[in-house]
Amino acid sequence: MTDFTMTIDGNPVSATGTFDVINPSTGGSAGQCPSGAAEDVNAAIAAAKAAFASWRWESDHTRSQACRDMARVLGEHAEELAVLLSTEQGKPLGGLGARFELGGCQAWASNTADLELPVEVVKDDNEGRIEIHRKPLGVVASITPWNWPLMIAIWHIAPAIRAGNTVVVKPSPYTPLSTLRMVEILNTVLPAGVLNVVTGPDSIGPVLTSHPDIAKVTFTGSTETGKKVMASATNTLKRLTLELGGNDAAIVLPDVEPAAVAEGIFWGAFINSGQTCACMKRLYVHDDIYDDVCSALVEFAAKIPVGDGLDEDSVLGPVQNAMQFAKVRDLVNDAKASGARVLLGGEVPEGNGYFYPLTIVADATDGMRLVDEEQFGPVLPVIRYTDIEDAVTRANASSMGLGGSVWSKDMDAAKKLALQFESGTVWINGHGGLNPNAPFGGVKQSGIGTEFGVDGLKEFTAIQTLHA
């Protein structure tokens, strides 16, 4: 089995102990992860701080080229990383799975290379000149989750490095191995210390987020943990980007053809087996077409093969971990007990791995835990409505505000409704699609700050205003 190591100051670093990473498709081992300690975190931060002293002054061209080089080596190692990702995360190699995620990593890295933050001139006359410069912040801590571990790491790493910062990544202990290997690969094209990675027990995250030499924390994960990160960042007023949970609603207007929208709605909800922050988690369907939409969804979902991520025939995989599996099962059982009707799935199959079946739950209502809480799994509750304004009010009656969608043939009506959503992103006749130039982030308790594009890049900088 491969020996995985942390990367600190460009060097492979082992820990005195390791912990087992579970393959969620089999319940067996995906590999051993180094169980680093606070000293490793401190060493990684010290290396990043030392590297920052020169990286911050590198030319824009050099930093842009570094992102381009990262995209290139990600491409060269894409299949190796995809297999590793699939083994520890569970997502299938094909379809919208591990190879797709690696493609996203390359696309975001190369797109970030092309972003520019030119000096802005706000005044230039005989009284003087005022320029706005964008400066890097320092050492950035990147804390990543287990659902899209490599893509989210690149979303943090590429803009941080492009803007002149250095980075310490801490992946989720559920999926650390692919990140360890990816950082090792990226280090072949970066100066030592610019990008470091540490792994270990839960205690190392707070060491990172409270360390005085961390200038910014970029975190993707649960709202609950995001609040802890924010609290521990206060002591030194760290900059923060928090991309947290969502409970995205979709509203289907009565003019749609149920069979025509079933595929789009399915993928909006079930991509990555529903383990995506901005996927559809509540589906509001007009009473006139409710039964037909439910039937069309069940018909489409029933044909999707679910299996071991490494099996090329699998289109969707297992739930990633036991904690999440139990959460999904409990929410469906609670909905059943509250009177909802399970149209597909809902029963845990025999066998190994954390396989929860694709599940569609009809007669779900607001107030059920499955509707009010983020299920983060392969389950979609379908809720009936009759009044469109009321549906928007219910969609917005959430402490979350990451994404939302409207489904209709009437683009003007859909747009009018979409703009009433209290969410950072809203889609029409789709859900969850992202673009490296389109700002992405949450409102309310779905997060703080923006990722992607020039707006996302700016979050890794501080303004310095020059009066001359």
- Least distance between ligand NDP and beta carbon 202 (Å): 4
Q: Which is nearer to ligand NDP, 82 or 207 (CB)?
A: 207
- In angstroms, what CA-CA distances link 286 with 81, 117, 167, 369? 43, 46, 48, 21
- Does residue 384 interact with ligand NDP by CB under 6 A? no
Which of residues 205, 346, 381, 401 is near ligand NDP by CB under 6 A?
205
Least Cα distance to 150 among 47, 272, 313 occurs for 272
Per DSSP, the three-state class of 335 is helix
Compute how many other C-beta atoms are within 10 angstroms of the C-beta atom of residue 323.
Answer: 10
Which of residues 26, 166, 196, 225 is near ligand NDP by CB under 6 A?
225
Separation between Cα atoms, residue 147 and residue 97, nearest integer Å: 11
Compute how many other C-beta atoms are within 10 angstroms of the C-beta atom of residue 401.
Answer: 22
- Least distance between ligand NDP and beta carbon 245 (Å): 5
Q: Which residues are catalytic?
A: 243, 277
- Does residue 218 interact with ligand NDP by CB under 6 A? no
Cβ atoms of 306 and 24 within 8 Å: the answer is no
In the Cβ-directed half-sphere of 81, how many Cα atoms lie within 13 Å?
Answer: 28
Residues with Cβ within 8 Å of 390's Cβ and at least 6 positions away in sequence, in order, are none
- Does residue 93 interact with ligand NDP by CB under 6 A? no
Which of residues 52, 55, 146, 284 is near ligand NDP by CB under 6 A?
146
Q: Using CB atoms within 10 Å of the CB of residue 390, give its burial: 0 to 12 exposed, 13 to 18 middle, 19+ buried.
A: exposed
- Does residue 31 interact with ligand NDP by CB under 6 A? no
What tokens appear for 82 in the block? 């995809």
Cβ atoms of 275 and 319 within 8 Å: the answer is yes
Which of residues 5, 142, 172, 423 is near ligand NDP by CB under 6 A?
172
Which of residues 46, 48, 183, 277 is near ligand NDP by CB under 6 A?
277
- Does residue 36 interact with ligand NDP by CB under 6 A? no
- Least distance between ligand NDP and beta carbon 69 (Å): 26
- Least distance between ligand NDP and beta carbon 172 (Å): 4
- Does residue 22 interact with ligand NDP by CB under 6 A? no
- Does residue 272 interact with ligand NDP by CB under 6 A? no
- Does residue 327 interact with ligand NDP by CB under 6 A? yes
Separation between Cα atoms, residue 407 and residue 209, nearest integer Å: 41
Compute how many other C-beta atoms are within 10 angstroms of the C-beta atom of residue 192.
Answer: 15
- Least distance between ligand NDP and beta carbon 168 (Å): 12
Q: Which is nearer to ligand NDP, 262 or 331 (CB)?
A: 331
Least Cα distance to 228 among 248, 208, 214, 199 occurs for 208
- Does residue 175 interact with ligand NDP by CB under 6 A? no
Q: Which is nearer to ligand NDP, 159 or 205 (CB)?
A: 205
- Does residue 112 interact with ligand NDP by CB under 6 A? no
Compute how many other C-beta atoms are within 10 angstroms of the C-beta atom of residue 119.
Answer: 9
- In angstroms, what CA-CA distances link 311 with 25, 179, 271? 10, 22, 17
- Does residue 252 interact with ligand NDP by CB under 6 A? no
Which of residues 34, 97, 159, 245 is near ligand NDP by CB under 6 A?
245
Per rule CB under 6 A, count of chain residues that contact ligand NDP: 25
What tokens appear for 419 in the block? 């703009």
Which of residues 24, 90, 173, 456 is near ligand NDP by CB under 6 A?
173
- Does residue 147 interact with ligand NDP by CB under 6 A? yes
Q: Which is nearer to ligand NDP, 222 or 429 (CB)?
A: 222
> Using CB under 6 A as the criterion, which residues of the chain lie in contact with ligand NDP when the complex forms?
143-147, 170, 172-173, 202, 205-206, 209, 220-222, 225, 228-229, 244-245, 277, 324, 327, 374, 376
